[in-house]
Amino acid sequence: MISSEQILYEDNHLIVLNKRAGQIVQGDKTGDPCMAEELKQYIKERDAKPGNVFCGVVHRLDRPVSGAVVFAKTSKALTRMNELVKSRDFHKVYQAVVRDLPPQPEGHIEDYLVRNEKLNKSFVTQDAQRPDAKKAVLDYRVVGSSEGGLHLLEIDLHTGRHHQIRCQLAHIGCPVKGDLKYGAPRSNPDGSISLHAARIEFEHPVSHKRIAIEAPAPWGAIFEQCKNDPTRNTNTKT
């Protein structure tokens, strides 16, 4: 269920929630409860609305992923937000926890991905001319390491391809912690993967002011003491 603690931002046009791993943004074939419908009910009860409540899904996160998700409270806001997403004027920064460091402390990755619908998985292809190949671009940097041998990456996502971060990080040898689908050796106890939408930035669809919203990560301050310490950002595999 939706809780008030999940609300990161709200006005008359938008509401941004900090999605928990395991929650579904929009209804799917599982038939499990989804955030969009639960949010409608939450607003209806909280605000004592007599009629139907509008709740439009602006973008989605995979079920095992946590972080900021934007919903539109009016059809006008949804239309304008959809335009922002299509024009890529909707900036997203993710955090990922990995056990193996990438080849360099920071880097720019461009790949072409193809999606296998049956496996619900994306793959890097060397054939950029394939009709189903889509260009995927991201930047990453190592921002911290923990005493337990885990490493925190910050990822600027420039394109929004299916399982893009999961696929591209696995391709360079550092799958997201807990992501069995993309090569992690062990699952997380709660079934999540350690990938989190930590920050979103966009122009408000009505006021046109630039908005930046941060979502606290589920791993809290585990990396804070080592964050941005270059002596810990070595390329030794753990």
Q: Would you name the residues annotated as active-site residues?
A: 62
Query: In whole angstroms, what is the distance from residue 208 CA to residue 156 CA?
Result: 23
Query: In whole angstroms, what is the distance from residue 141 CA to residue 18 CA?
Result: 23
Which residues, listed in sequence order, are joined to residue 156 by a DSSP beta bridge? 93, 139
Residue 24 is classified by DSSP as B
Query: In whole angstroms, what is the distance from residue 184 CA to residue 173 CA?
Result: 10
What residues have CB less than 8 Å from 185, skipping those under 6 apart? 99
Query: In whole angstroms, what is the distance from residue 93 CA to residue 6 CA?
Result: 18
What residue ranges in the chain does DSSP mark as E strands? 7-10, 14-19, 56-57, 66-72, 90-98, 106-116, 121-125, 134-145, 151-157, 195-203, 210-214
- Which H or E run includes 78? helix 75-86
Question: What is the distance, to the nearest Å, from the Cα of residue 6 to the centroid of all Cα atoms in its chain?
Answer: 15
Return the SS3 of 76.
Answer: helix
Residue type, 33: P
Q: Which residues of 89-104 are buried (b: 16+ CB within 10 A; e: fewer)?
A: ebebbbbbbbbbbbee
